[in-house]
Amino acid sequence: MAEAVLETVLENLNSLIQKELGLFLGFDQDVKRLRQFSDRSIKDWLQKLKDAAHVLDDILDECAYEAWRLEYQGVKCCLSDKVQCSCLSSFHPEHVVFRYKLAKKMKRISERLEEIADERTKFHFTEMVTDKRNGVLEWRQTTSFITEPEVYGREEDQDKIIDFLVGDASHSEDLSVYPIIGLGGLGKTTLAQLIFNHERVVNNFEPRIWVCVSEDFSLKRMTKAIIEVASGRACEDLLLEILQRRLQDLLQSKRYLLVLDDVWDDEQENWQKLKSILACGAQGASVLVTTRLSKVAAIMGTMPPHELAMLSDNDCWKLFKHRAFGPNEVEQEKLVILGKEIVKKCGGVPLAAKALGGLLRFKREEREWLKIKESNLWSLPHNIMPALRLSYLNLPIKFRQCFAYCAIFPKDEKIEKQYLIELWIANGFFSSNDKLDAEDC
């Protein structure tokens, strides 16, 4: 199999990357040391590092392609009922040449990385390991403030959830938890902001608390964050026991609304511990949760989740038009025609429509719009898809492989489910003995 042929190469390459790039994980806190060097020197050094990273990325792509090619040859051999396929041998001339060329590239890039590592010492850069899960990445932080000047196509969603919060939930003795679930970029956070600030909600809940959760659902962090928002004051880093008592004092017998935005953690125990503290509120106290994961909704929700649908083409066009033309500009007929065709590529995702509209805001040449229309979404600036990328990164490794494999099919091609599963098995993503439920597929 291809894994056996390339195992040593990939292991060596991964070791090389970890060893060399580990040198650049952090910088010294004392930035004053950098001032003795010109910005140009640092930029040049960073550019060299970036170029080396691109070379490493190319090497990984070559290895991945070679693995796929050998797998494909293996499948062909199996389908042709051949007992042995010489082309899969590790000593086949073609494979020997590939490994030789790859080894030379690895040696060159290793030497280059060592040179770059030596250069970093003059900038006084220091190795430092950082905790990725410490808090929320800045670009993913959300607040309760409405950031979208115009929202389209979410009136029914908004009314349904508000009716529940001020109606059914108000009569419940237990804490009501209403999950909003949907793909990244559909506008779950925007919908939650509209609800949070709606007059009916403002008049029915006090206090109203907004916490951006993201991937870090540690009990202490969550407790502290809720205290800070509810009290409006910074909270000391106290023992969890003290924090929990303080939170209960703040929420005791109050009809509060807590929004937990962008929840990813699917450990039931974490939520149950927090929920037991939140249960001190008055009748009608509620929690609104936004998440992409059905498992999170099942664990946290006390009722079926509200599934956010794609926008209609008409609503998507309104959003796109607002960004692309502005409120007072006279629309050009040819650009409107092209714009409506571009909107169809958004697939009903507001994030895509918003980003594409913003991209074309100051472009008024027909050829510029045509270029966007004929481009694939993934080839456009990266601000369109970072949120969607998280859904992919949150998949288990084997399912990431399965998802990425679908890229070999032409756009809009209908894929037979069982045929695709058989291809996954043939490529070694999982065995025929593995159990897949309907949700996995």
Residue 39's pLDDT is what? 62
- Whether 26 and 84 map to the same domain: the answer is yes
- Whether 157 and 225 map to the same domain: the answer is yes
> Domain range holding 63?
2-123
| DSSP code of residue 329 | P
Q: Last residue of a domain, which of 64, 88, 123?
A: 123
- Whether 185 and 119 map to the same domain: the answer is no
Contact of 372 with 364, CB cutoff 8 Å:
no
Q: Last residue of a domain, which of 340, 360, 386?
A: 386
CA-closest candidate to residue 89, choices 1, 152, 197: 1
Contact of 180 with 306, CB cutoff 8 Å:
yes
The CATH code of the domain that includes 257 is 3.40.50.300
- Residue 439 located in a structural domain: no
- Whether 148 and 294 map to the same domain: the answer is yes
pLDDT in 10s for each residue of the chain, 441 residues = 444 434 444 454 454 444 444 444 444 444 445 454 556 777 788 888 878 887 777 777 777 777 766 665 654 455 454 444 555 444 456 666 777 777 778 778 878 888 887 777 666 665 554 444 455 555 568 899 998 888 999 999 999 999 999 998 888 889 999 999 998 889 999 999 999 999 999 999 999 999 999 888 999 999 999 999 999 999 998 999 999 999 999 999 999 999 999 999 988 999 999 999 999 999 999 999 999 999 999 999 999 999 999 999 999 999 999 999 877 777 788 999 999 998 888 888 898 888 888 888 888 898 988 888 887 544 544 444 544 555 566 567 677 778 878 877 775 567 888 888 888 888 777 776 666 554 455
Total residue count of the chain as it appears in this document: 441
- Whether 156 and 292 map to the same domain: the answer is yes
- Whether 298 and 321 map to the same domain: the answer is no
- Residue 429 located in a structural domain: no
Contact of 187 with 350, CB cutoff 8 Å:
yes
- Whether 34 and 109 map to the same domain: the answer is yes
- Whether 346 and 332 map to the same domain: the answer is yes
- Residue 419 located in a structural domain: no
- Residue 251 located in a structural domain: yes
Q: Last residue of a domain, which of 367, 386, 405?
A: 386
Which string of b and e fits 205-237 if b means at least 16 CB within 10 Å?
Answer: bebbbbbbbbbbbebebbbbbbbebbeeeebee
Give every strand in the sheet of 257-263, ordered side by side.
208-214, 257-263, 286-291, 176-181, 306-307
- Whether 201 and 259 map to the same domain: the answer is yes
The domain tally of the chain equals 3
- Whether 169 and 288 map to the same domain: the answer is yes
- Whether 212 and 332 map to the same domain: the answer is no
Query: Phi/psi zone of residue 170: left (φ > 0), alpha (ψ -120 to 50 degrees), beta?
Result: alpha
H/E element holding 178? strand 176-181
Sorted by sequence, the CB contacts under 8 Å of residue 204 that are 6+ apart come out as 165, 166, 170, 255, 284
DSSP string across 10-70? HHHHHHHHHHHHGGGS---S-GGGGGGS-HHHHHHHHHHHHHHHHHHHHHHHHHHHHHHHH
- Residue 432 located in a structural domain: no
- Whether 324 and 298 map to the same domain: the answer is no
- Residue 213 located in a structural domain: yes
Q: Rounded to two decimals, what is the model's pTM?
A: 0.62
Residue 411's pLDDT is what? 57
Sorted by sequence, the CB contacts under 8 Å of residue 191 that are 6+ apart come out as 151, 154, 157, 158, 161, 180, 290, 308
Bridge pairing between strands 257-263 and 306-307: unpaired
- Residue 403 located in a structural domain: no
Residue 387's pLDDT is what? 41
Bridge partners, 260 (sequence order): 211, 289
Q: Which residue has the tokens 């594409």?
A: 356
For the four alpha carbons of 271, 274, 276 and 282, in that order, the dihedral sign comes to negative
Residue 131's pLDDT is what? 47
- Residue 397 located in a structural domain: no
Q: Give the helix ranges, DSSP H, for 80-187.
A: 93-120, 155-166
Euclidean distance between the first and the last CA atom of the chain, given in angstroms as a whole number: 25
Distance CA 25, CA 267 (A): 30
